[in-house]
Structure 1
Amino acid sequence: MATSNLTWEEKQELITRNLQETLGTDKLISILKENRDLKIYWGTATTGKPHVAYFVPMSKIADFLRAGCEVTILFADLHAYLDNMKAPWTLLDFRTQYYEAVIKSMLRSIGVPIEKLKFVKGTDYQLSKEYTLDVYKLTSVVTQHDAKKAGAEVVKQVEHPLLSGLLYPGLQALDEEYLKVDAQFGGVDQRKIFTFSEKYLPQLGYEKRIHFMSPMVPGLAGGKMSSSEEDSKIDLLDSAANVKKKLKKAFCEPGNIVDNGLLSFVKHVLFSLFKENEGFTVTRKPENGGDITYNSYEEMEASFAKEQLHPGDFKLAVEGYINRLLDPIRKEFTSPELVALTDKAYPPPAKVNKNAPKQEAPVDDGPHRLDIRVGKIVEVAMHPDADSLYVEKIDLGESEPRTVVSGLAKFVPLEDMQNRNVAVLCNLKPAKMRGVESKGMVLCTSNEDHTIVEPLVIPDGCKPGDRIYVEGNEGTPDEQLNPKKKVWEKLQADLKTNSNGEATWKGCFLLTPSVEKLTSKLSNCSIK
């Protein structure tokens, strides 16, 4: 359908379809009736790796372009750092380059002509004199309460928030003015920032913008799809084998059309990208009804709700469509340049050289000094002289398993410890516990009265010996922590789980080599 032949009503339908909410509909209609191209921007903070749910905004951007809109994609590199330093300053440039490469690749994979798009990096204008002055002006009218409330759904919430998190909503509001757009597009989780913008931009003499909000696509395991939760999302560079593995584990209850990430993905991405007369085809055995094609999402959803479409057949069909989207991206990212860029943007933690000469411990007490590794318990038994202790043999990727004594016998059943992956602090000085030498500590959380104790949960895909590090604090750990200087005790005081049960040190996440978070069933608890 040619853009020039569309009526304003048809353009409005394209622009607003599959959105959860639009703020400023009257202004949108007014601009479309003027036959003026609507100027829209979508921003993304360059933090964790983009995943398959990014096809939701990409498919909407395709709709905007079909409706003749001028679209700007903002790589919000400065926002990424200010959001509790989710992206270390030294990695910002590489992550911005990675985002640009991967998003361009995504758009090409769904047939969006990227020459019609404008790409802007936040730091290209957010450090200017004029923008900085407007930031100061905002701080003179915005209350702390409003700033905190606006960022509640987007900015990482920690026990002791940094001032940068309070600035974040104001900067996003100012982006609308400095990008000279009519509208901003984002997820419904951005709603509080959008209403913040509508309230405060006019106080600086700037006009109120239109805001488009897409629904949040549930993750594969239920809840929000997140780049930090391996089981909740499919990475854009995941192999076909990994896609199959993750989809097999995906939550897809028969007849459940409410909390179903796969159905949401098919609705908001696949059906919006299908060409005219192209439907969603499910391949089935003849005894299961044979192949069937759904020409509308509503038809498919009704079939699933009535349990006429089995989750197994549905997952297999989704797998094929997802691989069709990812194949061009995977191919592009096999180039040496993009492989090198990926490694620079998301570097693996430094490996410990066991044969290196012993060095003096760093002067500072950063968490990089802790040698925390993934371990697999290959053998566990009761301590011969203590009914509250387990004696474990833990594979830490070394030549032989280590012996570790843990006080978990009254909290975790013996059979639940066997073959379990745990986080082990490996560079404590070995200590004898009731006659058995322990060469490490299994890191756990406990409730306030110490009646519940839980080992930290290791994300799937980790292997024994993988180094656990604190976000933004990469470095070489001490060979052995000096007990006289209380290094562990000082650092442990800031090891906690947040309100989501995610393991943190001073609000920065504990991460695996694949940049996935360690978690616990217990929230707001100390880690020890």
Structure 2
Amino acid sequence: MANLEEKKHLITRNLQEVLGEDRLTEILKQRDLKIYWGTATTGRPHVAYFVPMSKIADFLKAGCEVTILFADLHAYLDNMKAPWDLLALRTQYYEVAIKAMLTSIGVPLDKLKFVRGTEYQLSKEYTLDVYRMSSVITEHDAKKAGAEVVKQVEHPLLSGLLYPGLQALDEEYLKVDAQFGGVDQRKIFTLAEKYLPSLGYAKRVHLMNPMVPGLTGTKMSSSEEDSKIDLLDNPASVKKKLKKAFCEPGNVTDNGILSFIKHVLFPLMKPEVTFQILRALENGGNVEYSNFEDLEAAFAKQEIHPGDLKASVEQEINRLLAPIQNTFKDPKLQELTKKAYPPPTKVKGNSNSNAVDEVTPSKLDIRVGKIVEVSKHPDADALYVEKIDLGDDEHRTIVSGLVNFVPIDKMQNRDVVVLCNLKPAKMRGVESKGMVLCASVDEPKQVEPLLPPEGSKPGDRIIVEGYESGQPDDILNPKKKVWEKLQVDLKTNDSLTVVWQGNKLISKVNGNPVTTKSMKNAPIK
């Protein structure tokens, strides 16, 4: 039986942060820890789910009692990511998929407790506690707590504000000592620590995994097709996605391949097993590593080629996925998959059918432009009137509110990024046929025009990585608010790169990214 220090090491290894470590130690002195991990049943689980699965394996090795919560009600409250009519089907899919993943890595299911949120969240007692919680949490705190977890939209629904409080209450109703989740849930965890005592309930320990980069170098997400490998992807698809994955020689940051090795493959390895890099004899032959630190150091020194790293991980991913895919060969489960995640249907022509016209970034006509002429608007002090070369026959007139942010001499001959298919609009009497895209924050007010990709020229098309196919609309339909729906997920990241749902905006010609000079994590307007 592991001693206290061994148990604590297993529980906390590879975590980014632990809140309440003293409480954790005190509980372990008396008994084994009770932990829960929850997952909202929204988009299909993918290989990044092996990260929490490997920690669940650690928890069980440490003797913990582990509850897995299928948070079906949360999935609906989060901006209706799981429509009510699909909720039960998606929850069934999650239960089969998560259990198959755990079996794949050798975790005994009989040691786990599986609970669906609606089994207790619709009870009289829980409902009364939701009302009690809503009477003490401020709107500001609820919104702040959900900022990195609940989908952020311009006009948030009340359901999204309820979400963090419900997650806090789950700790009490599942009768656990600790909640485990990603570091993106930190604000929900601190909200639970602040508000549960006001209802007479105890603070819990909070265990946080780092956010593991996806294949594009940003968060692996169910909604970003190219950032993740689906559990049901065949070997050819795994190879194709890994081939496109971001894995720069010597770069050990934002590297989804290395992170997967660190947080999934090494923790699951038995002590006597090594991780093997598969290499051709002319490149030195296969090489083995018994710990991640040595492997990472070798990659940093460029002793390991990205192609060899990817090939080795490809083999391991296919090994992990094979038993899951065997499970889903069952015709009943194939039918469940189709019903839980029906493919979106696109409207054709002027059909009056009820099919959904999918809003994807391929609808946007974004191009590189050059301002060839600029003047102040005759009737508006804050507006410029620009003539912009967009690679077509006619220089386009666009009105921009940049007077207070960019001097006029810095506008002349400036290269910019332009949204070209907005419906033309009169701005103080001057018709504007597009928008110069900028990073913009309100407090304090800052606006910075985006920088086109290196090596680009006027007219070059800008696309979102992973959404290369499809043609932009001639004019975005203002009634359907296409731009408004897509704009919500358009921002700069920590690396000053412009992304949509984590996928980079790049030149269709050379693949270089759209960037900003200095504004990190700023919305694009």
Q: Considering the TM-score relative to the shorter chain, is it more than 0.5?
A: yes
Q: 1:38 aligned to 33, 41, 51, which one? A: 33
Q: Spell out the pairing of 1:4-19 with structure 2 (5 A cutoff).
A: 5-19=1-15
Q: Spell out the pairing of 1:169-188 with structure 2 (5 A cutoff).
A: 169-188=164-183
Q: Would the alpha carbon gap of residues 132 and 113 (structure 1) be closer, same or farther in structure 2, given more than 3 Å must change?
A: same
Instruction: Name the structure 2 match of 1:244.
Output: 239
Q: Would the alpha carbon gap of residues 456 and 170 (structure 1) be closer, same or farther in structure 2, given more than 3 Å must change?
A: farther
Q: CA deviation digits over 1:302-360, x for unaligned, max 9?
A: 11111111111111111111111111111211211111011111011346689xxx987
Instruction: Compute the RMSD of aligned alpha carbons.
Output: 3.7
TM-score for both structures, normalised by structure 2: 0.74
Q: Would the alpha carbon gap of residues 370 and 489 (structure 1) be closer, same or farther in structure 2, given more than 3 Å must change?
A: farther
Q: CA deviation digits over 1:226-253, x for unaligned, max 9?
A: 1111221111111111111111111111
Q: Distance in 2 between matches of 1:238 and 1:360?
A: 35
Q: Distance in 2 between matches of 1:516 and 1:89?
A: 27
Q: 1:229 aligned to 224, 232, 239, which one? A: 224
Q: Would the alpha carbon gap of residues 163 and 327 (structure 1) be closer, same or farther in structure 2, given more than 3 Å must change?
A: same
Does the Cα contact within 8 Å between 1:237 and 1:330 map onto a contact in 2?
Answer: yes
Does the Cα contact within 8 Å between 1:496 and 1:525 map onto a contact in 2?
Answer: no
Does the Cα contact within 8 Å between 2:121 and 2:127 map onto a contact in 1?
Answer: yes
Q: Distance in 1 between matches of 2:154 and 2:246?
A: 32
Q: CA deviation digits over 1:68-99, x for unaligned, max 9?
A: 11111111111111111111111111110010
Q: CA deviation digits over 1:443-473, x for unaligned, max 9?
A: x9764899999978466488669x99xxxxx
Displacement of 1:491 after TM fit? 2.6
Q: Distance in 1 between matches of 2:82 and 2:504?
A: 18
Q: Distance in 2 between matches of 1:348 and 1:271?
A: 36
Instruction: Name the structure 2 match of 1:209.
Output: 204
> Secondary structure of 2:18's match?
strand
Q: CA deviation digits over 1:83-116, x for unaligned, max 9?
A: 1111111111111001001001100110001111
> Secondary structure of 2:490's match?
coil
Instruction: Name the structure 2 match of 1:498.
Output: 487
Q: Would the alpha carbon gap of residues 493 and 293 (structure 1) be closer, same or farther in structure 2, given more than 3 Å must change?
A: closer
2:22 paired with 1:22 = no
Q: 1:91 aligned to 86, 91, 96, which one? A: 86
For structure 2, which runs of at least 5 residues remain unmatched after alignment?
366-387, 394-420, 422-433, 439-446, 453-458, 492-499, 507-513, 516-521
Instruction: Name the structure 2 match of 1:307.
Output: 302
Displacement of 1:163 after TM fit? 1.0
Q: CA deviation digits over 1:107-142, x for unaligned, max 9?
A: 011000111111111111111111111111111111
Does the Cα contact within 8 Å between 1:445 and 1:454 map onto a contact in 2?
Answer: no
2:407 paired with 1:411 = no
Q: Distance in 1 between matches of 2:149 and 2:40?
A: 10
Q: CA deviation digits over 1:374-402, x for unaligned, max 9?
A: 79x9xxxxxxxxxxxxxxxxxxxxxxxxx
Does the Cα contact within 8 Å between 1:445 and 1:455 map onto a contact in 2?
Answer: no
Q: Distance in 2 between matches of 1:255 and 1:373?
A: 32
Q: 1:330 aligned to 325, 330, 351, which one? A: 325
Instruction: Give, as a single letter, the amino acid of the residue that structure 2 aligns with 1:174.
Output: L
Q: Spell out the pairing of 1:329-408 with structure 2 (5 A cutoff).
A: 329-350=324-345, 368=356
Q: Would the alpha carbon gap of residues 186 and 126 (structure 1) be closer, same or farther in structure 2, given more than 3 Å must change?
A: same
Matched positions, count: 431
Instruction: Give, as a single letter, the amino acid of the residue that structure 2 aligns with 1:92.
Output: L
Q: Would the alpha carbon gap of residues 259 and 374 (structure 1) be closer, same or farther in structure 2, given more than 3 Å must change?
A: closer
Displacement of 1:189 after TM fit? 0.6
Q: Distance in 2 between matches of 1:519 and 1:91?
A: 32
Q: Distance in 1 between matches of 2:265 and 2:95?
A: 23
Q: CA deviation digits over 1:163-187, x for unaligned, max 9?
A: 1111111000000000000000000
Percent of aligned positions that are identical: 62
Instruction: Give, as a single letter, the amino acid of the residue that structure 2 aligns with 1:411.
Output: L
Instruction: Give, as a single letter, the amino acid of the residue that structure 2 aligns with 1:86.
Output: K
Instruction: Name the structure 2 match of 1:431.
Output: none
Instruction: Give, as a single letter, the amino acid of the residue that structure 2 aligns with 1:266.
Output: I
Q: CA deviation digits over 1:237-281, x for unaligned, max 9?
A: 111111111111111111111221111110110000001210110
Does the Cα contact within 8 Å between 1:228 and 1:517 map onto a contact in 2?
Answer: no
2:188 paired with 1:193 = yes
Q: Would the alpha carbon gap of residues 339 and 374 (structure 1) be closer, same or farther in structure 2, given more than 3 Å must change?
A: farther
TM-score for both structures, normalised by structure 1: 0.73
Q: Distance in 2 between matches of 1:60 and 1:371?
A: 36
Q: Spell out the pairing of 1:13-162 with structure 2 (5 A cutoff).
A: 13-34=9-30, 36-162=31-157
